[in-house]
Structures are given as C-alpha cells and as structure tokens.
Amino acid sequence: MKIEAMSSQVSAAGSAPATAAAATAPAAVYPLQSTAAAVGSAPAAAVATSSAPVSEAVTGNALVAVAAAGSAPASAAACAPASAAAAAPFPTKSRRGTNIGLLLLKTETVSNPCVMMFYFTLDGDVAFPDFRQRVLESVSSFDRFTSTVCEGSFVDAGNFSIDDHVHEATEADLGGPPTQALLCQYLEGRFTMPLDTSRPMWEMILLRRYRANGDAVSPAQSVVIARIHHVIVDGTASMSILGAMSDESAAGTLSSEAAKAKSRDVVAKFVASHRPTCGPLGVGAGVVGVLCKYVANCFRPEPPSPFRGISTPHRSIAWTTLDAHTSLETARAHGATLNDVWMSALAGAMGGYMRQRGLPTEGLDLTVGMPVSLHSPVLDDDIGRTAGNRFGFILIRLPMYAFASRQERLHEVHRRLMVAKSWPEAVVSNAIASFTGCLPDAIVRCGLSKAGNGRTSTIMSNVRGPTEKLHMRGVDISSLNGFLSTPAGVALGLGLGTYAGRVALSVSCDRGLLGDDAAGQLMQMMIDDHEALCAAVDVSA
C-alpha cells in the first residue's frame, strides 16, 4: 500500500493503558460515545526532550517534568472584566485548573504549542450555520470551553462568543479548491499556530466541498478541524467533547447503561484477579522501582539521533487509514496487542531511517514516551467539566538495531512494553508532573536552567474510538482522527487510533530536524513493515 506525504485520514492522540492494573483493562466507556478511548493525551513536559538551549527546548526527563517557558499563562487580558454588552448566557464561575494542565501551559514554546489537533471527515455537505449551532450546543455544557485561564484558574469568559472560535475555511484560505494536497498544507500551517490566551483556547473550522483528489465527479465531503489547548482537556476528555457534536449524542444513543455495566463488570473481574499484587507492599515496591528508574535516567543521556534537537515551528505531516481486522488478527496471532504491532513497526521505521542515512544503529535503543490515561475506565458524564487532564507517561526503550525477522522484533517490543506496564510509572509520573505544575514559574524556570539532556526521542499515543460510525446533521462521519503535538526538542510524533473498524495512523515531523519529506517516508516505511508482518499470518477468518 502506497501513500503520499498527505494521505487521507488521521489518527487521534491517546496513549497506552496505565499501571499494572490498567495495562490490560478494557477501554473506557464514554457517556457520549459507544466505545471509549482507552487512553488519550498529548505530550507532556513530563517526558521532555533535548539538549537544545533552554530558551526553546523542553529539557529533563519524566522525573524532572519541566520544560522551557516559551509561553506564559494566559495574558492579563484573560483576567480583565468582560464587556457586559458582549456577555454570553453562561454563569460566572471559577474553577482551578489541573496542575498538570497548567504545567503544559507554562512550558510550551513558540515552536511547540501544546495544542491538540483533531480532524474528521463527513461524507456530505454540512451548512456552516448548522455546524456552528451544533458546536455551540455541544460546548455550552463544558465550562472549560467557555472560560479563560487566569492565575491558574478557569474563569468564565463573560465576553464569550462562538464566532470567535468557529470558522469556515474558504478556497482563498487554502489557495484553491479543497484537495488533499492543499488540506495538508493548511493543516501544516496551523499545526504550531498559537491560540489567543485572552479567550477560551480552542477553535473549530469547517471546510466544505472537499475532494481529496480534486476530481469534480466524485461526491464532495466536508472536513472539520478542531484545535484544543491541552490546558482545557486531555485526549480522552476531548474525545467526549467531539462525540457530543454527533447526532447520536443529541439522541442519547451513544452509550447505553448496559454497555457501561458490562465494562464495570470486566474491570471489577480484572482488578480482583490482580488484587494479590496490588496491595500496599506491591504498590510501594512499584513506586520505589519507578523512582529508581528515573534516578538512573538522570545519569544516562539519550543517545544522539536525528529525532532530537533544536525545534523549529515547521511541520510535515502524513496520515492514512487501514483495515483494523488485519492488524488485530496479526497481533493476536503473536500474543501481542495492536499497540505492540505498531510500536514494532515504528521501531523498524526509525531504525531503517537512520541506516538509510548511514547512521549506526547496532545496539542502539531510543526512548519513546507514551501518554497513559488515568481517567476512570467508565468515564463520568461531567468529564469535560471536571478533570480536564488526568494522565501520566511511561518511557519505553525501543530497539533501533536490525533483527533477524520482524516477528523477533515484535516479540522483543512486546516484552519491553509488558515490563513497563507492570510498574505504576504512569501514576508516579503524573504525581511528579502535577507537583511541578503547582510550583511558581520562577522555580520551574530555575529547575529548567539546571536540567540536563532530555530522555525522549519520540512520542507515540494510542486512542480507541467508536466501533460504529457517528453522524452529524444526518451525514456520516467517515473518519475521526488527530495529530500529536510534541514537546520541544522531539522531532517525531506518532498518533494511532481506531474508528469504525479502521486503524488511523498519523505522523508529524519537525522539518528542520528530519527534512521536508520525513513524515511521508516514515509513514510508508511503517506501512511496508506492517504489511510484511501481516502477510505471514492468515487473517481470512
């Protein structure tokens, strides 16, 4: 299967299961979604990155959990009283932001704003007034989407106007009739575009009359682009907001009580089976083990590679979708998971990319950071209004060296992931990052100035979406995916997701570090590796 640097679908930012108990637990059940994301979040300063100057790069490791103060929290304008004439009918209130969310806001940089970007395609036309109204109806229930950040708290934006956040992209914005190539350029241009801190930090854009190949005969589609700052919600919570825009949400048919009860039952059985290893002594030993790992990391610099360096604001992206059945059956045949299969493909692509450029990979391991959702497996109805960010990280040493076979590499990657998931690293990293987030900016910056080299070369996330197609205004949502933003200094981000029986894959690369065509090249290498692995397994059943 061949793709181009601007393929046709994208994947959403999520993560792997958290802690030993959550490592193999079922996906969460969204109140607004028929299936729920098992994981979801964008990169945190908790795993940041390179030996670049502290003025731009996120430095340190998951223990340090700090990054460059490239952008300050919301401006003074966000704290100013709003004009009564422009006030929207939302109650005035203040809610403390999560510490980890505030840390992300403090430590983003100009080249690496911590903004999640989602993208979904509708198989038909949706009028802009209808789209605008649906978004308004959806976000009005979520306080954070109508609030600005002021001194660590979300404060009601008395001047909130939906017209400041919902727009329609025109042919003039894209530079011609909407095609896949022009859409790719448009997304790349907005990838690192900052959001106005004096307003609620999100935007949604409707693009109509989209034809991927520019074929005037094929039916036109609509594209929805959503950009949401990580201080508002993490990937798991953001999926519930996007789900709220569907017809199924309006009809109350996204998630049944029976589905929630089934998920709770499975989780209860899983926890019961692991109770002997989850007692106080087991948890205490796990925490000590993780802290020892972080201390050891302080004395182990990340090996140099093309995937780390001084960030630039320029991105190349690529995306595609594949049949999920093939990937899942291949994973089951090897006693692995979907995440293991694609993590192995990532290792093969990164190692191959380096060898093509004459760089040594013998015995080389590079660190991949994986966001891990710490939300309850059965998500509360008010997830978008309360715990906006609840996630941690696990760090995986991924082999770059060549293996005798793809199967051998998959088994080694699976083994390493199982070891990582057996420790409560996600919980510990979340606690450390949350503690760092509540510190004064001066202390964070001081810690940053004395931090050593970074410990992460790549970020990979995984999120599960609905198993059935959703609809908006009666039109099928044919794809639901997103791009992963990366901390400063990290050149490569990989997003993996599932939606309606399809695997959605996206790659984002720093052009300054990896080149203009790196996203398409790495994507194609991953797909080729994956297809070769699947070819050896009978998935016809």
Between 9 and 246, name the one with better pLDDT: 246
Q: Who contacts 329 (Cβ-Cβ below 8 Å, separation ≥6)?
A: 537, 539, 541
Work out the average pLDDT over 209-226.
91
Amino acid at 509: C
Q: Which CATH class is domain 19-535?
A: alpha beta
**Using an 8 Å Cβ cutoff, are 48 and 60 in contact?**
yes
Work out the average pLDDT over 303-332.
93
Q: Which of 334, 492, 457 is nearest to 405 (CA)?
A: 334
**Using an 8 Å Cβ cutoff, are 67 and 58 in contact?**
yes
Q: Are strands 221-229 and 202-210 parallel, antiparallel or unpaired?
A: antiparallel
Q: Does the pLDDT of residue 70 top 50, yes or no?
A: no
How confident is the model at residue 123, as a pLDDT? Answer: 95
Two tokens, residue 526: 């991953």
Between 446 and 183, name the one with better pLDDT: 183
Domain boundaries, the chain: 19-535
Q: Does the pLDDT of residue 109 top 60, yes or no?
A: yes
Q: Does the pLDDT of residue 264 top 90, yes or no?
A: no
CB-neighbour burial class of residue 238 (10 A; exposed 0-12, middle 13-18, buried 19+): buried
Q: Whole-angstrom Cα distance, residue 480 to residue 514? A: 27
Two tokens, residue 292: 């020892």
Between 64 and 402, name the one with better pLDDT: 402
How confident is the model at residue 86, as a pLDDT? Answer: 41
Q: Who contacts 444 (Cβ-Cβ below 8 Å, separation ≥6)?
A: 66, 69, 103, 106, 107, 436
* DSSP-derived 3-state class of residue 139: helix
How confident is the model at residue 178, as a pLDDT? Answer: 94
Reported as type and span, the H/E element at residue 95 is strand 94-96
The tens digit of pLDDT for each residue in 486-538 reads: 888 899 999 998 889 999 999 999 999 999 999 999 999 999 999 999 998 87
Q: Who contacts 520 (Cβ-Cβ below 8 Å, separation ≥6)?
A: 3, 4, 5, 6, 7, 316, 318, 507
For 252-256, the CB contacts below 8 A with 24+ separation are 254/30, 254/31, 254/32, 254/33, 254/34, 254/466, 254/470, 255/29, 255/30, 255/31, 255/32, 255/33, 255/34, 255/36
**Using an 8 Å Cβ cutoff, are 100 and 435 in contact?**
no
How confident is the model at residue 398, as a pLDDT? Answer: 97
Confidence class of residue 464 from pLDDT cuts 50, 70 and 90? confident
How confident is the model at residue 273, as a pLDDT? Answer: 52
How confident is the model at residue 266, as a pLDDT? Answer: 56
Q: Does the pLDDT of residue 188 top 50, yes or no?
A: yes
Q: Does the pLDDT of residue 384 top 60, yes or no?
A: no
Between 36 and 474, name the one with better pLDDT: 474
Prediction pTM value: 0.79
How confident is the model at residue 19, as a pLDDT? Answer: 34
Amino acid at 202: W
* DSSP-derived 3-state class of residue 41: coil
Q: Does the pLDDT of residue 87 top 60, yes or no?
A: no
Paired strand residues for 228: 116, 202
Average pLDDT, the chain: 76
Confidence class of residue 326 from pLDDT cuts 50, 70 and 90? very high
Burial state string for 41-65 with b = 16 or more CB within 10 A and e = fewer than 16: bbbbbbbbbbbbebebbbbbbbbbb
Q: Which single residue is written with the structure tokens 């040594």?
A: 360
Angle, helix 324-333 to helix 338-356, in steps of 10 degrees: 90
Between 88 and 356, name the one with better pLDDT: 356
Work out the average pLDDT over 52-61.
32
* DSSP-derived 3-state class of residue 465: coil
* DSSP-derived 3-state class of residue 49: coil
